[in-house]
A and B are shown apart, each in its own frame.
Chain A
Amino acid sequence: MSDAETPTEFDPVEPNTGHEFEPVDVFPDSNDFDLRPGADSCFKCSVCDTNCPVAEVDDDFPGPKFQGPEQWRLKQTDEDYEIDDTVMSCSNCMRCDNACPSGVPLSQMHNTARGEYVENQMDKFSIEYVRNRILSNYRTSATIASKVPRLANWGMNFGPARWLMEKTLGVTKEREFPEFATQTFREWWAERGGADASRRNAQQRREELGLDRNADKKVAYFHGCYSNFNSTDVGKAMVRVFEHYGYEVVAPDQKCSGTPMFANGMLEDARRHAEVNVSSMSDLVDQGYDAIASCTSCSMALRQEYPELFDIEGIEKVASNTFESLEYLRIHEDIKADIQETEVSGELADEFAYHAPCHARNQGLERQSVELFRDLDGAGIEDVGESCSGISGTYGWKQEKYEKSMEIGEEMFEHMEHAEGEVGMTECPTCASQMEHGTGYEIRHPLELLEAALVS
């Protein structure tokens, strides 16, 4: 604790004894969130910089220590200080958070600075702004595309259209757009009977497991955009696995987690979405539900970025009751023993090259899939190392970042090719698309393997 915060306790030669102390307001125009203690905690060891995948390849990027505490200090002392435009090159992988021995909230500082840059300094009519806005509002494009999935799948990967997108918007034509499912997860969920059907399934399963039929096991699924519009098998696997353990699942109203918006400094867009998510999740938490995400960036947003960036009623409650799907089962069920006892066969009896997404790391989840599945008979799993995949959501979609993105990913691609398996595995949908793009492998989610191993 600094002397400035608790000045009355400071008495080396007792200068203040007997005097009423009036603290000086050092930085009167403080932010909504006080970042000063965080900036003060930085003792410039620069370890955060060693964790930055962008600084490793980009000679114009000054690294997280500058973007965070140093830039924050410059802002306090110089009224005319403008946020350095390199903040837009930060991919928001958030690895720096995990490196800091002093708990400096680096990613919160980056998000705040980026938001300020976009709001005050970026030309709202620039192509970059428009492009970033479109990329970060993936949910909007996906909602439209999913109405006509077949047409969208054709159109979005149609050569001349992609050429035009690169020329006019700066969206790289090198990547394949993700395929839209012909039936969204929510359509499937509704057709299946929604929450009522899930309750019946859970009750039946509890009886089979010898549990109380009305046991208090209920979770609210935050499926996010990708499991809804694209990889719907992940969402279905989540429901089946949780029901298998006797949980009743609900799929509340939700919007984008905000992850791509944070990375592009579109904080107002993110706030609008966050308000909907927090409102529906906090009601459910009050009723005893825990929030479960299958995408590690979604769980990261709900847990960390929301309370760090927004002041919305119920936000802390939602953050402290949100879990990643496997993590939740590891805490509440003896999933380790169940996996050791079973065997997987069929399509998923395979060797997997597993990549831990950056956003899984700060949640302490980077090892759980490898440590669980290494005991599973019929399948093998190998960690392809600690490198970032390089795509970081929208980062790798930007034409000017594409090459850097592939350079960052190179190490992962190499390790994947050296790994025994020729099927990839990861929790993050954009990492999955990068893995597929770099190696041509098919990529699965741990929940899919869990479903194949436990529910059959």
Chain B
Amino acid sequence: MAINSEVLVIGGGLAGLTSALKAAREGSDVRLVSYKQSSLRHASGLVDLLGYTPDGAGPITDPYAAMSDLHDAHPYQTVGTETVREAMDLFDDVTDYRGGHTETNALVPTHGGTIKPTARYPTGAAAGLASDDRDVLLVGLESMVDFDAPHAAAHLAAAGVPFDVRGETIRFPGDLQADAKITRYAKLLDTNGEIAVRGRKKGARDALAERINTVREKEPRVGFPAILGDDHTDAVRASLEEKIGADVFEVPMGPPSLPGLRLEDRLFEALDDSGASFETGNPVVDFDADGDTIETVYIEKNGARIPNSADQYVLATGGLVGKGIESDRESVHEPIFDCHIEHGEDRYDWFDRDAFGDHPFARFGVETDESLRPLTGSDSVEFENLRAAGSVLGGYDFQAEKSGSGVSIATGYVAGENAAAEAQ
């Protein structure tokens, strides 16, 4: 016996979640398994479609228009621009993200003070857009070295943003330790927990707003590092806006990231509502196949092998960082099904000598047919009931193009749709 479903999705990132959600909405009995918690908590929480061309030209204004110029092996070309639009509709349907009102990219300031072209952004980042000409005050925290507000402000000014921007560093009120976790700030603000300021107890939101009021001049909007609450972020923002008398926004941060965490929670909630089942914590390590049909995959738990069977499988295990693709000194491989990954024989051909050069490894991944089934080295299908989605796919460099989220959503959508259609 085994734990059964019609569609089994392996991987709990954006691609796996979209895939499972789409398949479940198509009426399939879906199960998602993920080795660890979703990689979304490593992500900024911004959802990019295409920010730059593969040659580095950009920022791109209209990502959809630019997709048709991509080379044929790019995942966007495999699924087609129209399908990317449909997939984004699904994303918009299950989240409260902004940016869906237009096809053009928004420009969002990052914690390094650069401007990122992105297709969707969390509500909490909305007041911070660089296309808005209202002046900005960025507020950093002494203890949070990842975000140096004066530095980010200077960087933004140098980039020529159409507003005045100033950075101030404050100490977060209360006696927090020097390396307090982002969840500590979020919890205090979520609950408006009491903290002591000069011997007097105050709610965390009130105490923080008071500090801002001592450094704010007339700026109509104030940007914070993304620590403004977890479960109740909208309430935290609204409450600070009221107390400060200005719009408040969050600047997306590096990992670990609260906007990423919130997106993860939202998507799992949507998956739960769709009736799918899921589990995290243990890896898929092995499988049984009959010819080119996968019959069962095995999840390992401390030496026990838990069989999971399905009619259709989706591989959404991530790329080199997510460990959906592994490499050693001899080769690059996909560890679960050993799907073919094209790479040069000499590992010195895998990268460019220039650190910011055009690295072949960035495009390593499985190649697929039109239905996203991974292909062998001789272009036949690896398994008739396996599809791949997200950064396990090859043929694109998401870091350089700023296309990671969009490719994950679009290919996840298609893999889920096709898997569901086959399963029924």
Contacts and interface: CB of A to CB of B under 8 A. Distances in A.
Given A49-B181, A59-B184, A99-B37, A307 B304 contact: no
Contact of A55 (B37, B181, B279): B181
Given A1-B328, A55-B181, A101 B39 contact: yes
Nearest to A102: B323
Contacts of A47: 37, 41-42, 255-256
A62 B302 contact: no
Nearest to A370: B272
Interface stretch (A271-279, A344-352, A359-367): A359-367
Interface in A295-339: 303-304, 307, 316, 319-323, 327, 330-334, 336
Interface string A430-446: 00000000000000000
A64 B281 CA distance: 17
Given A9-B329, A319-B303, A50 B182 contact: yes
A402 to B, nearest CB: 17
A400 interface: no
Interface stretch (B63-71, B171-179, B201-209): B171-179
Interface residues of A, number: 49
Contacts of A336: 4
B255 A362 contact: no
A254 interface: no
A367 B277 contact: yes
Contact of A363 (B255, B301, B328): B301
B187 A57 contact: yes
Given A50-B181, A99-B36, A101-B322, A59 B176 contact: yes
Interface string A8-40: 010000000000000000000000000000000
Contacts of A364: 33, 279-282, 299, 301
A320 B184 contact: no
Contact of A331 (B181, B307, B322): B307
A383 B191 CA distance: 21
Nearest to A303: B302
Contacts of B175: 59
Nearest to B191: A410
Nearest to B321: A101
Nearest to B3: A330
B306 interface: yes
A257 interface: no
Interface in B178-211: 179-184, 187, 191
Contacts of B187: 56-57
A144 interface: no
A22 B192 CA distance: 59
A334 B302 contact: no
B2 interface: yes
Contacts of A57: 184, 187
A98 interface: yes
B302 A320 contact: yes
Nearest to A97: B281
B278 interface: yes
Contacts of A201: none
A226 B207 CA distance: 45
B304 A59 contact: no
Contacts of A327: 306
B176 A100 contact: no
Interface string B258-284: 000100000000001000011111100
Nearest to A64: B181
A98 B323 CA distance: 15
A101 B281 contact: no
B1 interface: yes
Interface string A52-65: 10011101101100
A101 B307 CA distance: 23
A46 interface: yes
A228 interface: no
A51 interface: yes
B304 A56 contact: no
Contacts of B1: 331-334
A322 B183 contact: no
A254 to B, nearest CB: 19
A46 B175 CA distance: 21
B323 A101 contact: yes
Most chain B CB neighbours (cut-off 10 Å) among A56, A63, A332, A333: A56
Nearest to B29: A336
Interface in B6-57: 33, 36-37, 39, 41-42
B228 to A, nearest CB: 15
Given A98-B36, A101-B39, 5 more contacts: A46-B256, A57-B184, A98-B37, A332-B1, A368-B279
14 contacts: A1-B328, A46-B256, A50-B41, A50-B256, A62-B177, A63-B179, A63-B181, A101-B322, A307-B302, A319-B302, A319-B304, A327-B306, A366-B279, A367-B277
A-B pairs, top 9 by smallest CB distance, nearest first, are A320-B303, A364-B279, A364-B281, A303-B302, A50-B256, A49-B181, A47-B256, A371-B277, A45-B255
Interface of A: 1, 9, 45-47, 49-52, 55-57, 59-60, 62-63, 98-101, 103, 303-304, 307, 316, 319-323, 327, 330-334, 336, 361-368, 371, 383, 410-411
